[in-house]
Amino acid sequence: MQDALGSLGSTLREQEQVISRRQALAGGMTRAALEHRIRPGGPWRRLLPGVYMAQTGEPTVAQKEMAALLHAGPESVLTGPAALRALGVSVQEPATFDVLVPTSRRPTSVAFVAIHRTARMPDAVTQKGRRSYALAPRALADTARRMTGLREVRALIGGAIQQRVCPLGALAFELGEGGRQHSALLRQVLDEAREGIRSAAEGELRDLIERAGLPVPMFNPRLRTADGVFIACPDAWWADAGVAVEIDSREWHLSPADWEETMRRHDAMIRHGILLLHFSPARVRREPTVVAATIADALSAGRARPPLPVIAHPASS
């Protein structure tokens, strides 16, 4: 009996103090003892049907994840925002935990658990203790497929690319493997990413440029002098006019060091004769006509002078 209780304690430690009814009984606990622990005011708390937390209070994210996997059963894998958070992607704490299960199994969605039956269970996963997470390409695709706004999909994919969490090619492969259902927004954002767009703000700038009938620029190119010296990597670049646009968002300048680096980059472009325009994301959204006219004027001014000796290389994926 003592060995069984020791095994039960080991299971609780490995599972964030979360356990299933089956595990508790297999670990030597009697049904009466279990019911006593989960009684109103008792030392344990029921999280999901047949899944308990061996303490009181609110469960942590890790405890909810463990409970979701125990509810979903063997071979289940966390995906979506929960998996992205585990991989270090900056996303909000999920209200619902998405779990992949094989099509042969039929657990149901309940409380904070969303079950997704699939014939494409991940071939590889990331492990944290007894918790299994889908890798970045699958987690990103699954998250984006459940989004309804273009801006939020752009922010998700742009953030992942900027944080170097997932190569663009790996995400494109995952999208191809997963089929077309609920993928229109993700496909659009991946097409934009192939053009060099790396953020939601840049995507909105591209929309503005197309609506205004302006020439489409290069996005995030690497600018160099004729002898190969690196200048900068602006958000948008019109080579024939020597015009660059920077979307100045406080989101990416959270420290004095970041801001100083931005100023150094801007100074470098100006020293090489580049006509540099600055717009905030809010201004792109709220004053599109003014932004478009400002770009058009700069393009006209830039084309009225000799071309700059600046070479642009496409953004790498």
Question: pLDDT tens digits, residue range 160-209?
Answer: 888 888 999 999 999 999 878 899 999 999 999 998 998 899 999 999 99
Which of 251, 235, 252 has the alpha carbon at shortest distance from 243? 235
Do 75 and 184 reside in the same domain of the chain?
yes
Pairing verdict, β 218-219 and 236-238: antiparallel
51 phi and psi, to 5 degrees?
-135, 130
Q: State pTM to two decimals.
A: 0.82
* Domain, as residue range, for 226: 200-313
Instruction: Report whether pLDDT(251) > 90.
Output: no
CB distance 136 to 87 below 8 Å: yes
In this prediction, residue 259 carries a pLDDT of 74
Do 71 and 148 reside in the same domain of the chain?
yes
Rounded distance between C-alpha atoms, residue 43 and residue 26, angstroms: 20
In this prediction, residue 2 carries a pLDDT of 43
How many domains are contained in the chain? 3
Rounded distance between C-alpha atoms, residue 317 and residue 302, angstroms: 29
Question: pLDDT tens digits, residue range 98-141?
Answer: 999 999 999 999 999 999 999 999 989 999 999 999 999 999 99
Do 278 and 234 reside in the same domain of the chain?
yes
Rounded distance between C-alpha atoms, residue 20 and residue 24, angstroms: 6
Do 227 and 165 reside in the same domain of the chain?
no
Q: Looking at residue 250, what DSSP letter applies? A: G
Do 68 and 189 reside in the same domain of the chain?
yes
Do 149 and 245 reside in the same domain of the chain?
no
Question: How much is the mean pLDDT over the chain?
Answer: 92
Do 151 and 243 reside in the same domain of the chain?
no
Do 243 and 133 reside in the same domain of the chain?
no
Q: What is the CATH number of the domain that holds 238?
A: 3.40.960
Question: pLDDT tens digits, residue range 65-79?
Answer: 999 999 999 999 999
What phi-psi label fits residue 17: left (phi over 0), alpha (psi between -120 and 50 degrees) or beta? Answer: left
SS3 state of residue 290: helix
